[in-house]
Structure 1
Amino acid sequence: MRRYRWWLGGFALLFVVALVGVFVFSGPDVSPPPRRTGPPGTGPLTIVSIGDSTLSGEGAGDYTPDTNGLNGNWCHRSPNATVFRTAVPGIEQKINLACSGAPSGQVALGETAQWTELSQAARLGALTRDHRVAAVVVAVGANDDPHFSGLVGGCVQASFSSNGPPCSTAIEADWQAKVDAMVPKVVSALGDVKKVLADAGYQPGDYQLVLQSYAAPIGPGIPENLRNLSACPFRVEDLRWVRDSAVPKLTTGLSAAATQAGARFLDLSKAGYGHEACSGGANPGTEWFSRLRLQLSDLAKVDRASHALQESFHPNAAGHVQFGRCLTEFLGTVDVASACLSGADGNLHPAATMSAGRR
């Protein structure tokens, strides 16, 4: 009996020692908390678009009164814009902060203004107080050093002089240098977008950040009888250069900016092929970009006259439907980069690029 008691006591002692050892070396349960499944805070799950005319809805019409010249605001935000044509599961609200003509400086934090409006990144930060931001889509860069809209305007002027050189002759010389100068500005703007979300408690996995590029609004397939002031006044050489050289180089620069900033990239450079302005000839209903558009009613008003051509050569409402469809599908993939290309059904769909990795 004594032997049994001694064995039982020894066993109890060993059990206590082992238990203490487990506590000392393992400590209390410190398993990480379960990963949250979405953005922090309260409010509706939201997708936000920021940037320039490509996302504001310039060319899509029906602009909100407050951005159609009221008190000098010409941001031209349209209910037909891309963000409102997305259909991402779970998204409850869609908000457009983009402003026509916006440079990277106005998207970023700071005091740069565009048509009376200050930092879009700051406005995004304010949104997080009562919205849960699930995705931010950005289009910016063309209004920095490349001044793409000015390029198009210069090519229109060049079409008036049959004896002079095409506009591309002069622009091509330093086009790559202008694209290179644009890249760090876009990277900085994207960095500020990430900063305001981080300051609001967001972690990288809480939201998607997408930088999209620009589609070529014009191409060399325009019928001869439309290469005039009634539709698309461009020289054939310039039409080809814009589509086959200027836009691809701009896209490469933006792709590099997305990589440096840690954003996903949606390439729209070929998205408009076959649907450029004037490509439909007598049937403009097939086109996804506006032709030369002159608002005659604006010419009679001093404060509006200089904006009478502002809508020209931008994605129209049909184009935004297609871009919204492609963006929706892209947000549902894990591809780091994709290109919006026309599918067998005639609609745009994201196709993984050769250089794109996967998350």
Structure 2
Amino acid sequence: MRRYRWWFGGLALVFVAIILGVFVFSGSESQQGQPVTDRDGPPGTGPLTIVALGDSTASGEGAGNYTADTSGLNGNWCHRSPNAAVYQTKVSGIDARVDLACSGAPAAQVALGETKQWTEPSQAQQLAEIVKTHRVAAVVVAVGANDDPHFSAAVTDCFKAWFNPTGPPCSDQLRTVWKQRVDAMVPKVANAVGDVKKVLADAGYIPADYQLVVQSYAAPIGPGIPENLRNLNGCPFRTEDLQWVVRDGVPALSAGIRQAAVQSGARFLDLSRAGAGHEACSGGADPAKEWFSRLTLQLKDLGQIDRASHALQESFHPNANGHAELGRCLTEFLGTSKGNAACLPGPDGKLHSAPEVVAN
């Protein structure tokens, strides 16, 4: 994988539009997971399994090593990676992990229905097939950013604003519409989670058989970027726009997803601060410290018409290190059976599950 050098600046202008659909990263105290006396876990046969549903945050976008069938084959660009967070979980008793998430997926494709994403049908319907051969102990859903908030387009607008330093920052316009967009997203996410519950209920599951988790998104970029990386060689964004992403945009998006989790009776895992100090470009000369990919161009894809429009798809997503940390936090969260939590960097420099604190 190679990143832009300054002499590729012209290419960036050509491919700005590519980013429009690819820069997406992805409750109430439920009694799910509580032991009961008359059942021995999920019904059916097969291994105890955790299933991931949603968009790029869950598919493993940015983590590399994508499965051949989801890396452009026959138009499928779901970009599922064996490095995705779900595969990094190590929950006691869980024997299998299944990733049905698809990069760029809206809530409607997670829900039951006819909506497809990169040729793939409903993820809830795919889950209905999984429960025939697996005993599903946990379902983790990460979706919503590709709906009304259009977080990918928001990041693209901020990218464009960097190219036009005499114009207004992207955040000037975004802050006037962001809450309205997030509010419109909430029922769509709640509906998708409701369909996941319906699939499991139709398969004979009761709430105590499994944990249902809705997670939010981490901010992939932040204002602590060295000036020498605030360009096409790293993270081309204006400081005021980076501040909006971290202080306003991602927290508001997370609050909306929490609301959807409450409405659908799922547990909520807040990732809004998960990347603090480890955002793209925050490591300066040492990108190994970062948990998110910088502006990334797959040069080999530019020479193929069917792949060129996806050459920037990995940019500003959790990288393999980031997915490993998210997997660690998710493991700790699933080790408890009720309540909500937030993924926060700990004193050891790693990501951990911490009790949720909700501002009054």
Answer yes or no: same fold by TM over 0.5: yes
Aligned 1:42-121 pairs, distance under 5 A? 42-121=45-124
Say whether residues 1:146 and 2:152 are aligned partners: no
Q: Separation in 2 of the partners of 1:309 and 1:154?
A: 15
Aligned 1:175-214 pairs, distance under 5 A? 175-214=178-217
Q: Separation in 1 of the partners of 2:40 and 2:245?
A: 43
Say whether residues 1:269 and 2:269 are aligned partners: no
> How far off its partner does 1:215 sit?
0.2
Deviations 1:261-312 (A, max 9, x none): 0000000000000000000000000000000000111111100010000000
Which AA in structure 1 matches 2:202? D
Quickly say closer, same or farther: Cα 1:275–1:34, change in 2 above 3 A: closer
Q: Is the 8 A contact 1:42 1:132 kept in 2?
A: yes
Corresponding residue number in structure 2 for 1:354: 357
Q: Separation in 1 of the partners of 2:38 and 2:267?
A: 22
Deviations 1:33-86 (A, max 9, x none): 942121000011100000000010000000000000000000000000000000
Deviations 1:122-152 (A, max 9, x none): 0001111110000000100000000111111
Q: Separation in 2 of the partners of 1:100 and 1:173?
A: 27
Which AA in structure 2 matches 1:221? G
Match of 1:229 among 229, 232, 241: 232
Q: Is the 8 A contact 2:250 2:272 kept in 1?
A: yes
Corresponding residue number in structure 1 for 2:223: 220
The higher-RCO structure (CA 8 Å, 6+ apart) is 2
What's the TM-score, normalizing by structure 2? Answer: 0.89
Q: Separation in 2 of the partners of 1:49 and 1:332?
A: 16
Q: Which has the higher Rg, Structure 1 or Structure 2? A: 1
**Secondary structure of 1:211 counterpart:** strand
| Structure 1 segments (4+ residues) deviating >4 Å | none
**Secondary structure of 2:307 counterpart:** helix
Q: Separation in 1 of the partners of 2:84 and 2:40?
A: 28
Q: Is the 8 A contact 1:51 1:102 kept in 2?
A: yes
> How far off its partner does 1:168 sit?
0.8
Q: Separation in 1 of the partners of 2:78 and 2:161?
A: 28
Q: Which moved more, 1:322-331 or 1:345-354?
A: 345-354
Q: Is the 8 A contact 1:335 1:352 kept in 2?
A: no
Match of 1:40 among 38, 43, 68: 43
Corresponding residue number in structure 2 for 1:5: none
Q: Separation in 2 of the partners of 1:120 and 1:335?
A: 25
**Secondary structure of 1:202 counterpart:** coil
Q: Is the 8 A contact 1:46 1:95 kept in 2?
A: yes
Q: Separation in 2 of the partners of 1:170 and 1:298?
A: 33
Which AA in structure 2 matches 1:140? V
Quickly say closer, same or farther: Cα 1:130–1:64, change in 2 above 3 A: same
> How far off its partner does 1:170 sit?
1.1
Q: Separation in 2 of the partners of 1:269 and 1:354?
A: 13
Q: Separation in 1 of the partners of 2:202 and 2:167?
A: 54
Corresponding residue number in structure 1 for 2:262: 259
Q: Is the 8 A contact 2:211 2:337 kept in 1?
A: no
Q: Separation in 2 of the partners of 1:188 and 1:162?
A: 41
> How far off its partner does 1:354 sit?
2.5
> How far off its partner does 1:251 sit?
0.6
Which AA in structure 2 matches 1:65? A
Which AA in structure 1 matches 2:327? G
Q: Separation in 1 of the partners of 2:313 and 2:86?
A: 21
**Secondary structure of 1:129 counterpart:** coil
**Secondary structure of 1:159 counterpart:** helix
Match of 1:292 among 277, 295, 314: 295
Q: Is the 8 A contact 1:183 1:257 kept in 2?
A: yes
Q: Separation in 2 of the partners of 1:99 and 1:39?
A: 26
Q: Separation in 2 of the partners of 1:223 and 1:293?
A: 18
**Secondary structure of 1:99 counterpart:** coil
Corresponding residue number in structure 1 for 2:311: 308
Q: Which blocks of at least 5 consecutive residues in structure 2 are unaligned?
A: 1-35
Corresponding residue number in structure 2 for 1:12: none
Corresponding residue number in structure 2 for 1:343: 346
Q: Is the 8 A contact 2:56 2:104 kept in 1?
A: yes
Q: Separation in 2 of the partners of 1:90 and 1:229?
A: 45
Corresponding residue number in structure 1 for 2:11: none
**Secondary structure of 1:137 counterpart:** strand
Q: Separation in 2 of the partners of 1:59 and 1:257?
A: 26
Q: Is the 8 A contact 2:229 2:281 kept in 1?
A: yes
> How far off its partner does 1:164 sit?
0.3
Q: Identity over aligned residues, as a percent?
A: 69
